[in-house]
Structure 1
Amino acid sequence: MRIPAPRPFVVDTSIACGTVWAAVLLGRESVSQGWPELDARAFLLVVLAHLPTAVRGRWPVAVFVAAQTAAVVYVTLGYWPVVCTFGPMLALYTVASVRTTRVALACAATLIAFWLYAGVVSDSPSMASVLAQALMYAAVLVRFGILARRSAELTLRLREEQAERALRAVAEERGRIARELHDVVAHHMSVISVQAGLARFVFDADPVTARGALGTIEDTSGEALEELRRMLYVLREEDPEAAAAAPMPTLARLDDLVARVRAGGVAVELTVEGAPRPLPPGVELCAYRIVQEALTNVLKHARHAHARVTLHYGQRDLSVHVTDDGEAAGQDVGRGAIQARLGADLGHGPGHGLIGMRERARLYGGTISVGPRSGGGFAVELTLPA
C-alpha cells in the first residue's frame, strides 16, 4: 500500500513541535549552566518562540517577528538565551528561502542584533565570540535559504519548460497526423472520384470500361483503408504486430502509385536513375508522400497532362523531380489552375498539400522547390540527404 506524502503543514508542525521539545529539554539544563531555573512564564515564552514556526510557510516574516519578539522578552527577563535561539533561526532560514534577498538580510540583521543584545544582557565575557557566532549563523542560514529558493525557482522553470515541450510535441504530432491523413485521403479519394465519374459516364455505353473503373475504385479504397488502419494501430499502440504487418509506404511501391494515377487518366512516366539502395525509413516515406501529393495535384488540376517522375540516387542524397506539361501536351496549365495549386501555400485555399511538402522536406533536412515551369506546366523538385 502506497503511503501518501505528508502535507507541508504537517511537516512544519512536526518540526515546530520538535524544536519546542528540544528547547524545553535544553531549558532544564539552565541551572547547571549557571542560569535561573525556568518557570511557567519562561516555558510559555519558549513555546511562543518556537511553536509559530508551524505556519512559517504561509507567513514567514510574521513568524520570524513573533519568534524574535518572544525571544527578546525571554532574554530580557534574565533566562538562558541559548534556549530561545532555534525558533528565530528556523524562521530566518524560511524567510531567506521564500522572500527576496533584501528581506532576508534585514531579518538576518535583526537576528544578529538579538544575539548581541543577549550577550550584553548576560554580561558575556567575550562579545567578539558572540558577534562571530551571530554573523556566522546568520550568514549560513541566509545562504542556504537563498540556495533553496533558487533551487525551487529552477524546478518550477524546468516544469514550465517541460510543459511547453510537451505542448510543442503534441502540436508537432498533430501536424504529422494531419499530413499523413491528408496524403492518404486526398490521393485515394481523388482517384476514386475520377474513376467514379468515369464509371458513371460510360456505364451504359462501355460496360467493360465501367467495370475497370469500379475495380480501380475497389483497389484504391482498400489500400486507403489499409493505410488508415495502419495509422490507427500506430497511434493506439494496441497491436504492434498488426502495425508491423502494414508497413509504411516506401519508394518500392511507387509503381503501384503511378498505376493508380494512370488509371485516373494521367499519363505518368517513372524513371529511376542511379543504383537504388535502402534508405532511412523517414527519408523514403518523405519522398513517397511528396510524389503522391504532386501526382494528386496533377490528377485534380491537370488531369489530361503528361507527368514525369524521376528518382535520382546520388552518393549522398536522393533527388525527386515531378513535372507535368499542363492541361495537355504543349499547353500551360493556365492561370486559374496555377492559382488553385498554389492557393493552399499562399493561404487562399482549403488544402495544405504544398505546405505539407515543405514541412516534410524541412523535417528531414531536405530542400524543395514547388511552382510553375517557365515552359508551361508545374514542377516539384525535392532533394533529401541520404
Structure 2
Amino acid sequence: MRIPRPLTVDTLIALAMTAAALRLGQVSVAQGWPELDASAYVLLALAHLPVALRRRSPLVVFAVVQVASVAYISLGYWPVASALGSMLVLYTVASVHPARIAVGCAAVMTAKWLYTGVISDNLSMGLIVTQALLYCSVLVWSGTLARRSHALGRQLRAEQAERARREVAAERGRIARELHDVVAHHMSVISVQAGLARFVLDSDAPTARDALTTIEDTSTEALEELRRMLKVLREHDLGGAESAAPMPTLARLDDLVQRVRAGGVPVELYIQGTARPLPPGVELCAYRVVQEALTNVLKHTRQAPAQVQLRYTQHKLIVSITNGGDGNIPAIAVSAGGHGLIGMRERAKLYGGTISVGPRAEGGFAVRLILPTSATARWRDERTR
C-alpha cells in the first residue's frame, strides 16, 4: 500500500479545515454575529489554506495565519470560525521547534484571544482567558511530546543501525578468524610436506610420494572447509534451500593429529573420561583451539613433541595442549600478535569458557581450555566468577 506524501496529507487537511471554517461562518448570524461578506471569506481562506505548508515553514505559516485571523476578528466577525488553523499550526511549531519558541508562539496566540475579548461585547473576558490558557497549554504540551517522541525514534533508529554495524563487524571478525584457522593450519602442513618432498625427491621416492599424498589430502580438506564456510555465508540468500555441511567436531581430532604427525611433529592424543556428543559450538571451539595450537607447533617448534588431552567431566570439557619446545621460544607467544591468540580467547569467552596460554616452567608452552558443556554449567560458572 502506497503511503501518501506529507504535503498531500497537509493539503487535504487544509482544504477540510477551510471548508469547516466556511461552514461555521455561514451560521455566524445564528450565533449573534454579523453575516460574512467576500472579505470575510477571503480572510478565512488565508487563515486556513497555508496550513498545507505547515511542515515546511511552520513559523512563516504561523505568522500568516495569525495575521489573517487578527484581520478577520478586527472586522467584527465570529472569531471561532478562524481558530482551527491557528491551533493546528501552534501544535506543529511545538512539535518541531524548541520549547522557548513554542511558548513564544503560544503567547502570541493568547494575546490574539485577549484582543478578541477586548474588542467584542459578546464574549466574557474570563472565558476568553481560560480558553486561551487551556488550549495553548494543551497544544504546546502535545507538540512537545510529539517532538520528543520523534527525537527518541531517531535515537533508537541510530542505535539500531550502530548495533547492526557492530554485529556485522563482529561477524566479519568471526569469519576472518575461521578463515585464519582453516587456511593457516592446512597451508602449514602443505608447506612442510612440500619442503620434505623436494628434499627427498631424488633420494627417497616413497617418502616423497607419501608427502605428496599428504599434500593432496590436506588441500582437499582445506577446500572442503572453505566450501562449507561459503555455504554458511550463502545460506540466507538461498532461503535455506541448501543446508551447510557440519563444521569440524572433536571426532575429527584424529585426522588433525595425523596431519601434524605427517608434518614431522610427534603428537599424541589422550582422552580421559567418557567421550560424548557436545553442543556443536562447544565442539567447534575446542577443535579450533587445538588446531591453532598445533599449527603454531608446526610453524615454530616442529622438532619438539606435543600432547593433546581431552578430559570429559560431568559438566565441563577440559582441553590441554602441551609442547616440550625450547623454553626460550614458546610457540603460542610467537603468534600472539595475530588472529590466533585473540581468536582462541574470543571463542572461549563466547561459550562461557576460560583459556590460559603461556610458557611452561620446564620449557615449551601450554594451552588449557575449560568449556562448560551445558547451559546450566555455564550459568553456574558465571555466578561463581
> Aligned residue for 1:271?
270
1:90 Cα deviation from its structure 2 partner: 0.6
> Aligned residue for 1:284?
283
| Contact preservation (8 Å) 2:293, 2:332 | no
SS in 1 for 2:48: helix
> Aligned residue for 1:119?
117
The aligned amino acid for 2:279 is P
Runs of 4+ in structure 1 displaced over 6 angstroms?
A: none
* Aligned equivalents of 2:239, 2:75: Cα separation in 1: 78
1:341 Cα deviation from its structure 2 partner: 4.1
> Aligned residue for 2:299?
300
Which of 177, 187, 190 aligns to 1:189? It is 187
Which of 354, 358, 376 aligns to 1:367? It is 354
* Aligned equivalents of 1:255, 1:129: Cα separation in 2: 92
C-alpha distance after superposition, 1:55-75 (max 9, x if no partner): 111221221122111111111
C-alpha distance after superposition, 1:100-126 (max 9, x if no partner): 112111211222222222122222453
Which piece of structure 1 moves more, 121-130 or 21-30?
121-130
1:129 Cα deviation from its structure 2 partner: 2.0
**Residues 1:380 and 2:367 are matched in the alignment:** yes
**Would the alpha carbon gap of residues 47 and 366 (structure 1) be closer, same or farther in structure 2, given more than 3 Å must change?**
same
Which of 44, 47, 53 aligns to 1:46? It is 44
* Aligned equivalents of 1:13, 1:148: Cα separation in 2: 21
Structure 2 unpaired stretches of 5+: 374-385
TM score, norm. by length of structure 2: 0.92
SS in 1 for 2:47: helix
> Aligned residue for 1:257?
256
> Aligned residue for 2:377?
none
**Would the alpha carbon gap of residues 242 and 50 (structure 1) be closer, same or farther in structure 2, given more than 3 Å must change?**
closer
1:211 Cα deviation from its structure 2 partner: 0.9
Structure 1 unpaired stretches of 5+: 327-331
Map 1:299-378; keep pairs closer than 5 Å: 299-326=298-325, 332-334=326-328, 337-338=329-330, 341-345=332-336, 347=337, 351-378=338-365
Question: How many percent of aligned residue pairs carry the same amino acid?
Answer: 66
C-alpha distance after superposition, 1:116-175 (max 9, x if no partner): 221222224532222222222112211211121111111111110110011011101101
* Aligned equivalents of 1:39, 1:241: Cα separation in 2: 73
Which piece of structure 1 moves more, 123-132 or 299-308?
123-132
> Aligned residue for 1:136?
134
SS in 1 for 2:321: strand
* Aligned equivalents of 1:210, 1:243: Cα separation in 2: 38
**Would the alpha carbon gap of residues 239 and 160 (structure 1) be closer, same or farther in structure 2, given more than 3 Å must change?**
closer
SS in 2 for 1:272: strand
> Aligned residue for 1:329?
none
SS in 2 for 1:383: strand
The aligned amino acid for 1:368 is I
* Aligned equivalents of 2:310, 2:147: Cα separation in 1: 59
| Contact preservation (8 Å) 2:306, 2:324 | yes
Which of 92, 104, 107 aligns to 2:105? It is 107
* Aligned equivalents of 1:273, 1:299: Cα separation in 2: 25
**Residues 1:56 and 2:43 are matched in the alignment:** no
> Aligned residue for 1:248?
247
* Aligned equivalents of 1:154, 1:304: Cα separation in 2: 62
* Aligned equivalents of 2:241, 2:7: Cα separation in 1: 51
1:272 Cα deviation from its structure 2 partner: 1.1
1:315 Cα deviation from its structure 2 partner: 2.2
* Aligned equivalents of 2:55, 2:109: Cα separation in 1: 19
| Contact preservation (8 Å) 1:108, 1:142 | yes
**Would the alpha carbon gap of residues 8 and 241 (structure 1) be closer, same or farther in structure 2, given more than 3 Å must change?**
closer
**Would the alpha carbon gap of residues 254 and 374 (structure 1) be closer, same or farther in structure 2, given more than 3 Å must change?**
same
Which of 67, 74, 77 aligns to 2:75? It is 77
C-alpha distance after superposition, 1:260-314 (max 9, x if no partner): 1111111111111122222211111001000000000000001111000111112
* Aligned equivalents of 1:129, 1:192: Cα separation in 2: 93
TM score, norm. by length of structure 1: 0.92
1:53 Cα deviation from its structure 2 partner: 1.4
**Would the alpha carbon gap of residues 33 and 124 (structure 1) be closer, same or farther in structure 2, given more than 3 Å must change?**
closer
The aligned amino acid for 1:248 is M
- Report how many residues are paired: 371
The aligned amino acid for 1:14 is L
* Aligned equivalents of 2:172, 2:339: Cα separation in 1: 14
The aligned amino acid for 2:290 is V
